[in-house]
Amino acid sequence: MQTHSPATIGIFDSGIGGLTVVREIKRLMPGQPIVYFGDTARTPYGTKSPDIIRRYAVQDTQFLIDQGAEIIVIACHSAASTATAVIEERFSLPVFEVVSPSVMQAVKVTRNKRIGIMGTRATVESRVYDCKIPELMPDATVISQACPLLVPLVEEGWLKRRETRMIVKKYLKPLKDRQVDTLVMGCTHYPLLKEIIKAKAGKRITTVDPSYETALAVRQFLEESGRACTDSPADIGSPAENFQAGREDYFVSDIAPATAEIANRFMGRRIKLVKA
Ligand code: DGL
């Protein structure tokens, strides 16, 4: 039950991948005000060093706070795995990120305690899942696979191509060979490949979608603090009563010719991008 005004959620990613998190947040909380920042001028983060990712993530967070964000969602696995601690230290507002909710869900669903992780090089090299999963399940085995070709394939819109299926199969082989029964799709782009990933993983492997798990965690937090808005904007009442309800601002640091089209694909509908 909402008792206060809905909190404005600030969500950032290295580019437009974080829109998969926004999509889930808007599905669970349609009237929740959100402000998004995609660092399209400096994407990808997944191939950069931890120091640079941390510096960019701090700047992204500051930008969102300047736009009125009251809670932050790090909707980028590469940033979440390397920069969460520094953001929590520098800023005094609630910080959510895509790794922790996925870890909780993976631990919940695994039966044989063998958990596979797909991610960018930055995420895999951070070893964040290798550290966090044993905190909850000390006898778990974590097997990670960097999948650097998948981000460009998604951005190119090769979502159903034979080549994409072959590459996904190749990346999953080492994880299947080591009998994982749970697979974390540890990159914001992978939900767009969910069908292929599920098909190639096979029925015995349960997939975890971090974008959905993160949205659930944010909703739970906002509901507990009375600041969630699960109504649709049209049902909320007069704009004066709920001046922020339904706010959706999408900022990016660069708009290249293909950016809008890719962003619309990620959101599953047209959105208006504004250059920050
Ligand atoms: N958003 C990034 C992630 O989830 C993928 C793109 C990038 O490498 O920046 O890791």
Q: What is the pLDDT of residue 239?
A: 46
Residues touching ligand 1 (Cβ under 6 Å) are 13-15, 17, 43-46, 76-78, 120, 123, 151, 187-189
CA distances from 25 to 33, 51, 194, 271 (A): 10, 29, 18, 15
Give the model's pLDDT for residue 240. 42
The matching CATH number, chosen from 3.30.70.3040, 3.40.50.1860, 3.20.20.10, 1.10.3720.10, for 9-97+212-275 is 3.40.50.1860
* Number of other residues whose CB lies within 10 A of the CB of residue 260: 17
User: So where are the chain's domains?
Assistant: 9-97+212-275, 99-210
Pairing state of beta strands 182-186 and 114-119?
parallel
Query: 189 CA to middle of ligand 1, Å?
Result: 7
Q: In sequence order, which residues have a C-beta less than 8 Å from that of residue 68 and are 6 or more positions away?
A: 8, 10, 35
In sequence order, the β-bridge partners of residue 35 are: 10, 249
Residue whose C-alpha is closest to residue 142's, from 163, 126, 161, 153: 126
For the CA of 78, the closest atom of ligand 1 is 10
By C-alpha distance, which of 192, 20, 256, 213 is closest to 102?
213
Q: What pLDDT, in 10s, does the model give residues 186-221? A: 999 999 999 999 999 999 999 999 999 999 999 999
| Distance of alpha carbon 227 from the chain centroid | 21
99-210 in CATH: which number? Answer: 3.40.50.1860
Q: Which residues lie below 8 Å from residue 100, measured CB to CB, with a gap of 6+?
A: 132, 217
Å from CA of 213 to ligand 1 middle: 17
- Residue 235 is predicted with a pLDDT of 60
Instruction: Check whether the bond before 44 is cis (ω within 30° of 0).
Output: yes
Are 19 and 232 in contact, with CB atoms under 8 Å apart? no
Q: What pTM, to 2 d.p., does this model score?
A: 0.93
Backbone dihedral region for residue 107 (phi beyond 0: left; psi -120 to 50: alpha; all else: beta)? alpha
Residues (pLDDT < 70) of the chain are 1-3, 233-245
Q: Probe ligand 1: pick from 77, 99, 184, 266, max atoms within 8 Å of CB?
A: 77
The domains spanning 9-97+212-275 and 99-210 adopt the same CATH topology: yes
Sign of the CA dihedral with 229 first, then 232, 237, and 238 last: positive
Among 75, 126, 64, 65, which residue's Cα sits nearest to residue 101?
75
Q: What is the pLDDT of residue 271?
A: 95
